[in-house]
Amino acid sequence: MRLQIDNARLLCPANGWDEAGSLLIEDGKIAEIGKVTGKADETIDADGLCLSPGLIDLRVKTGEPGAEQKETLATASRAAVAGGVTSMVVMPDTNPVIDDVALVQFIANRGKETSKTRIYAAGALTKGLKGEAMAEMGLMSDSGAVFFTNGDLPISDASVLRRTMAYAASCGALVSSRADDHALAKRGVMNSGALAARIGLSGLPREAEWIGLARDLLLAEATKCTLLVDQVSTARSIEMIKAARARGVKVWASVAAHHLFFNELDVGDYLTYCKVNPPFRSEEDRQALIDALAHGEIDAVVSAHDPQPPEEKRLPFAEASFGAAGLETVLSALLVLVQDERLSMLDALMPLTASPANIIGVPQGQLKEGAPADLILFDPEKPWFCEREHLRSRSLNSPFDGRRMVGRVMRTIIGGETVFERGT
């Protein structure tokens, strides 16, 4: 099957392309770009829509295996393709934890059987995510795990983290770590500050992120380990990462899309859909994250998709679970910044396509002849109203609920096949 897409605005951050043209797909791969000379079996008129690589999301939680009532790979992929996400990395904090080869293979096989998207597994950094004994990173890496993380449970024992980083460096594995100090942050539920004090909620201090990050960066430097800092949320964290890079530390940084959109004031009247970890920070921190993204100092934007059922969100704020559904809103959160002229279109797409592909070493994320035809057609100016009941995730805990958004994915193509098409 040869599929041709005409009259598109071709966007490829990897190559710096932003131009009108056509694209031909053959046998699931990109065959020609720009001026197409081959004959197609089917032609799509993009009518000026943007055509870009599909999005690559480095942080997605599902409940499968063990908590399928929250989300399955199938339901997550249904939300993903509607949001333009064609590849996603599944976190290891399932039940059982993804801490051995059999479970990495289970995720890969289950993804092929039930998911519309490409599924990659992140392996656990320690057995059972308990922070005590190193998991089988070498074997899991050979089985397809793209990086290793302790998820939302940072390793408190620095000697354990040092050993895992040293081993990861020896076998060329990537370590992802949440910058946090559990002793400072364990009782907090929102950003620590005047607002938290006024409304009577315990705070998650920024210092916990700084202390955890300083330790992680020093250990990465000492062990020569490549580190992915998971979901930075403060301005000072960016400065610490820049300083580490200047010293030669191999470090990537990600930010959650919702941290670019919300600040601590959005918690408002105890809105539990806005209870996430790391929490929404100050407006100064939010602006600093946007500036860092614009200057290429943040490498990946993630959805931080963490679905929670209503019974875990419709509770007093202090008792509600952390987490937000984000697969369908990650692109729109970036396109709002394009509309506000804070980012160029290519700057917005880079941390969603080429850069995360580079981080985990996959061939997707670019418009290139021979690359997998994982593509999205989207209208960057199409307005829409986010209503939780219309989202496709199994759990509908979105902080964007009730918000006016901009930018809509109209078609998602994976391996040359249309897996999602939005009705007019």
SS3 state at 153 = coil
SS3 state at 116 = coil
Q: Which H helix or E strand runs over 421?
A: strand 417-421
State the CATH number of the domain containing residue 100. 3.20.20.140
- The neighbouring-strand residues paired with 26 are 2, 29
Residues composing the chain: 424
Question: What sign results for the dihedral spanned by CA atoms 6, 12, 17, 19?
Answer: positive
Contact 216, 208 (CB under 8 A): no
Residue 384 lies in a domain: no
Tokens of 375: 């593509």
pLDDT for 45 = 96
pLDDT for 396 = 87
pLDDT for 39 = 85
Residue 15 lies in a domain: no
Residue 394 lies in a domain: no
SS3 state at 123 = strand
Residue 141 lies in a domain: yes
Tell me 305's DSSP state: B
pLDDT for 424 = 55
* CA distance to 258, 290, 333, per residue, from 261 (Å): 5, 9, 6
Gyration radius of the chain over CA positions: 21
Domain carrying residue 69: 54-360
Phi, psi dihedrals of residue 153, rounded to the nearest 5°: -115, 85
Residue 387 lies in a domain: no
Please count the other Cβ atoms lying within 10 Å of the Cβ belonging to residue 368. Answer: 15
The single residue listed with the structure tokens 């890496």 is 141
Residue 386 lies in a domain: no
The single residue listed with the structure tokens 């006016």 is 404
- Give the number of domains in the chain: 1
**CA pair distance 206, 180, nearest whole angstrom:** 9
Please, which residues have CB within 8 angstroms of residue 118's CB and are 6 or more apart in sequence? 86, 87, 88, 111, 364, 374, 414
68-71 CB contacts, 8 Å cutoff, 24+ apart: 69/309, 69/394, 70/307, 70/308, 70/309, 70/394, 70/395, 71/307, 71/393, 71/394, 71/395
CA angle at residue 56 from 285 to 377, to 5 degrees? 105
Residue 383 lies in a domain: no
* Greatest pairwise CA separation for the chain in angstroms: 66
User: In tens digits, what is the pLDDT along the chain, a chain of 424 residues?
Assistant: 899 999 999 999 999 999 999 999 999 999 999 888 878 899 999 999 999 999 999 999 999 999 999 999 999 999 999 999 999 999 999 999 999 999 999 999 999 999 999 999 999 999 999 999 999 999 999 999 999 999 998 999 999 999 999 999 999 999 999 999 988 888 899 999 999 999 999 999 999 999 999 999 999 999 999 999 999 999 999 999 999 999 999 999 999 999 999 999 999 989 999 999 999 999 999 999 999 999 999 999 999 999 999 999 999 999 999 999 999 999 999 999 999 999 999 999 999 999 999 999 999 999 999 999 999 999 999 999 999 999 999 988 999 999 999 999 999 999 999 999 998 5
b/e burial code for range 144-160 (CB count within 10 A of at least 16 → b): ebbbbbbbbbbbeeeeb
Residue 252 lies in a domain: yes
